[in-house]
């Protein structure tokens, strides 16, 4: 079983920088201000021949009970409880602070193996802090610079000494049965739509920070989960506002992270608040997911507080039908992340949409369909010469992509292309997924 290593410490000591260094890519947001990381962030990491799961945490800080900071610290303490190894980090340039001493005591009492890291120790500015770290009672510190990669060799040796016994239990063994590649699912929506509450309800634990404050989630956090025996990689993302309202650098980074999660996803659940009308921003998010070629499911959250449900349903579905023709037939599921209402229906819709996204239609059926479709509505004849469509094939799936071959297809109007796409969607049962159609000039065998 792969070991889990948690990085903990007070805010702004460089935990996310080390996380990104060990993960080999920029997964966690990094900024000069303290408290950027709020939720636990996990990733696969390697250091030399060692491979392990790394967890980035919010900075441990003293806070008023019930506050956002207190909830962040509680998430970090839970990460310590779940880890096999703890990396406790201090800022060598700032030296050991009273907060470092306080939380070093908590980590020491956890009973987990702890490696003390004195970060930002490059040059001579952090030397005094490295020696001061001995007083925390966590053993000899590793002098490290996460930003410049210095000291990673010593960190490797310390980790190897702790993790080696587990590796000897069965090198090359795989824990559990291989259940196949997980479906990649991203939850997208505006701030305060209830994305983190929904994620917690789906996985059955308080894994993500939630609360009335908008914009709590910043990183796009990936979680491994299983629904009905099927593996799922689930992304919770930051709430996305209109571009004109985004001014701070940190929010821009969070938005960029969320949009990158959409590119990695296969199915996107667009979460909207049932108590608010579908706004232009909701529709633009759905359009963005469709342009990225992702299957889309719309989940209407907070349905438990709606009284006039029939009227609200008509209003929502009418707006979607009018404004999202590019994913006509998109599944709309009414849920409550707070009470758990409709969550099974949501996941059933997600997997149905995923199957549609992967569907392949035989060429013989496609060409019979093209013949009948063209007979019902002939292509136009610009300059008196009829456009002729001779052959169609499915070029790829994920999303369904079709290529139509014929003569003078460069003059085929967009309205006729939409007619073909709508016919493909209706006749081959392809709701809720973007359909891509390419037209190609047929080759003349006599040229």
Phi-psi region of 211 (alpha: psi -120 to 50; beta: other; left: phi over 0): left
The CA-based angle 17-23-27, given to 5 degrees, is 65
Tokens of 365: 């059926």
Q: Which two tokens stand for residue 413?
A: 């109007």
pLDDT per residue over 414-438, tens digit each?
A: 999 999 999 999 999 999 899 999 8
Q: Using the structure block, give the residue that is written with the tokens 């792969």.
A: 2
Coil/strand/helix, residue 2: coil
The token pair that represents 83 in the structure block: 């880890």
Which of 216-225, 345-354, 374-383 is the most confident on average? Answer: 345-354
pLDDT in tens, 171-201: 333 333 334 689 999 998 888 888 888 988 9
By DSSP bridging, strand 388-396 and strand 401-407 are antiparallel
Q: How many Cβ atoms sit within 10 Å of the Cβ of residue 332?
A: 18
Q: What is the pLDDT of residue 268?
A: 94
Least confident of 20-29, 78-87, 99-108: 20-29
Identity of the highest mean pLDDT range in 81-90, 172-181, 182-191, 318-327: 318-327
Q: CA 101, CA 311: separation in Å to the nearest integer? A: 58
Greatest mean pLDDT range, 16-25, 246-255, 298-307: 298-307
**Alpha helices per DSSP H over 110-180:** 127-132, 152-167
What residues does 233 pair with on adjacent strands? 184, 224
pLDDT digits (tens, 9 = 90+) for 236-284: 876 664 554 444 444 455 456 667 778 888 999 999 999 887 888 889 8
Are 270 and 297 spatial neighbours (Cβ–Cβ below 8 Å)? yes
Distances (CA, A) of 303 to 3, 116, 225, 324: 40, 48, 25, 22
- How far is 42 from 365, CA to CA, in rounded Å? 45
Per-residue pLDDT at 166: 42
> What pLDDT is stored for residue 437 in this prediction?
93
What mean pLDDT do residues 98-122 have? 85
What are the residue ranges of helices labelled H in 209-279?
A: 249-264
Average pLDDT value over all residues in the chain? 80
Separation between Cα atoms, residue 241 and residue 258, nearest integer Å = 12
Alpha-carbon dihedral 273, 279, 282, 287, rounded to 10 degrees: 150
**pLDDT confidence of residue 351:** 96
300 vs 11: which has the higher pLDDT: 300
- Average pLDDT on 41-62 reads 78
Q: In the 8-state DSSP scheme, what is residue 384?
A: G
Dihedral, 263, 268, 274, 275 alpha carbons, nearest 10? -10
Long-range contacts at 163-170 (CB < 8 A, ≥ 24 apart): 163/3, 163/50, 163/52, 163/84, 163/85, 166/1, 166/3, 166/84
Give the whole-angstrom CA distance, residue 417 versus residue 410: 11
Confidence check: pLDDT of 215 > 60: no
Two structure tokens written together for 232? 């799922």
Alpha helix (H) residue ranges in 24-150: 68-82, 98-109, 127-132
| List of domains in the chain | 4-167 (3.40.50.300), 183-357 (3.40.50.300), 363-441 (3.30.300.20)
Per-residue pLDDT, averaged over 312-335, amounts to 94
Q: Hey, is 404 helix, strand or coil?
A: strand
């Amino acid at each position: 079983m792969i070991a889990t290593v948690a990085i903990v410490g007070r805010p702004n000591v460089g935990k996310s920088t080390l996380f990104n260094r060990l993960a080999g890519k920029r997964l966690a947001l990094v900024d000069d201000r303290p408290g950027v990381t709020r939720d636990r962030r996990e990733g696969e990491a390697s250091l030399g021949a060692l491979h392990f799961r790394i967890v980035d945490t919010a900075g441990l800080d003293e806070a008023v009970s019930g506050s956002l900071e207190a909830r962040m610290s509680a998430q970090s303490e839970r990460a310590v409880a779940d880890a096999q190894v703890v990396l406790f980090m201090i800022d060598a340039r700032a030296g050991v602070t009273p907060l470092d001493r306080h939380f070093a005591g908590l980590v020491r009492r956890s009973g987990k193996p702890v490696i003390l890291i004195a970060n930002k120790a490059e040059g001579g500015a952090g030397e005094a802090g490295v020696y001061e770290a001995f007083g925390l009672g966590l053993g000899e510190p590793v002098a490290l610079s996460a930003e410049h990669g210095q000291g990673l060799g010593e960190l490797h040796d310390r980790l190897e000494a702790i993790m080696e016994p587990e590796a000897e239990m069965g090198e090359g063994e795989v824990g559990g049965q291989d259940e196949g590649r997980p479906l990649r699912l991203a939850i997208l929506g505006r701030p305060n739509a209830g994305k983190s509450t929904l994620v917690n309800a789906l996985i059955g634990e308080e894994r993500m920070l939630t609360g009335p404050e908008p914009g709590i989630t910043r990183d796009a956090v990936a979680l491994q989960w299983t629904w009905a025996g099927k593996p799922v990689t689930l992304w919770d993302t930051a709430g996305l506002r209109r571009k004109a309202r985004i001014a701070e650098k940190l929010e821009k980074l969070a938005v960029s992270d969320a949009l990158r999660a959409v590119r990695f996803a296969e199915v996107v659940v667009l979460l909207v608040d049932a108590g608010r009308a579908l706004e232009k921003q909701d529709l633009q998010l759905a359009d963005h997911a469709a342009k990225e070629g992702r299957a889309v499911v719309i989940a209407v959250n907070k349905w438990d507080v709606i009284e006039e449900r029939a009227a609200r349903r008509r209003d929502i579905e009418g707006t979607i039908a009018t404004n999202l023709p590019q994913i006509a037939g998109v599944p709309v599921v009414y849920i409550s992340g707070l009470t758990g209402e409709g969550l099974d229906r949501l996941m059933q819709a997600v997997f149905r949409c995923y199957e549609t996204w992967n569907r392949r239609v035989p060429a013989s059926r496609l060409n019979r369909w093209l013949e009948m479709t063209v007979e019902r509505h002939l292509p136009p004849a610009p300059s008196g010469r009829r456009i002729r469509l001779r052959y169609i094939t499915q070029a790829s799936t994920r999303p369904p992509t079709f290529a139509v071959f014929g003569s003078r297809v460069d003059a085929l109007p967009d309205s006729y292309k939409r007619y073909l796409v709508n016919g493909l969607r209706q006749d081959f049962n392809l709701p809720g997924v973007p359909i891509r159609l390419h037209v190609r000039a047929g080759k003349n065998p006599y040229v």
